[in-house]
């Protein structure tokens, strides 16, 4: 008597492992792209508001409070993006591909997206987004207050 896992031929297990590695690689690339995108968005937002940030610092708002506002902005982007991603994944992609599997020569392929692993990936994207939001805000807040107000580099 064999369990289900023991009864799977070696070739099928290798294909499963290969698809798992490909999925992890694509997920890692997506994480890096998301971090770079959030960094650029927050950086451009902070650069265009440099005078405003200088005025805030000039009237006594602490640099930490300004940095925190940009961290909250990046958390907002992460929350909205994650919510849209979950809605598309579990509301459309998984049911659609389950109903209409991708036909391959060896078997039909469906999307397997365990909720636990998805939540871990969302946590990673949120942490990465916080760092990507903090770095540009820190760079702008460290600038001289008078130079920021006057728009000098």
Residue 21 resides in a domain: yes
Rounded Cα–Cα distance for residues 78 and 66 (Å): 19
Task: For residue 87, tell me if it sits in a domain.
Answer: yes
pTM recorded for the entire structure: 0.73
Q: Is residue 78 part of a domain?
A: yes
Domain count of the fold of the chain: 1
Model pLDDT, residue 9? 67
Q: What is the largest CA-CA distance in the chain?
A: 79
Percentage of the chain exceeding pLDDT 70: 93
Q: Is-contact 149 59, C-beta < 8 A?
A: no
Residue 65, pLDDT score: 93
Residue 68: which domain range? 12-149
Proportion of the chain above pLDDT 90, given as a percent: 20
Confidence band (pLDDT; 50, 70, 90) for 90?
very high
Q: Is residue 124 situated within a structural domain?
A: yes
Coil vs helix vs strand at 109: strand
In the prediction, which pLDDT does 145 show?
Answer: 81
Flag whether 29 is in a domain. yes
The confidence band for 17, taking pLDDT boundaries of 50, 70 and 90, is confident
What's the pLDDT at 38? Answer: 84
In a domain, 68, yes or no: yes
């Amino acid at each position: 008597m064999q369990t289900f896992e023991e009864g799977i031929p070696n070739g099928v297990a290798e294909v499963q492992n290969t698809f798992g590695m490909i999925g992890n690689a694509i997920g890692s690339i997506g994480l890096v792209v998301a971090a770079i995108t959030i960094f650029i968005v927050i950086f451009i937002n902070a650069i265009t508001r440099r005078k405003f940030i200088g005025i805030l610092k000039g009237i006594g708002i602490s640099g930490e409070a300004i940095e925190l506002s940009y961290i909250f902005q990046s958390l907002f982007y992460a929350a909205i993006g994650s919510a849209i991603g979950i809605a598309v994944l579990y509301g459309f992609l998984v049911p659609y591909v389950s109903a209409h599997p991708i036909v391959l020569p060896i078997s039909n392929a469906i999307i397997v997206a365990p909720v636990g692993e998805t939540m871990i990936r969302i946590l990673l994207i949120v942490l990465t987004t916080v760092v990507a939001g903090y770095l540009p805000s820190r760079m702008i807040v460290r600038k001289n207050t008078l130079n920021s107000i006057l728009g000098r580099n």
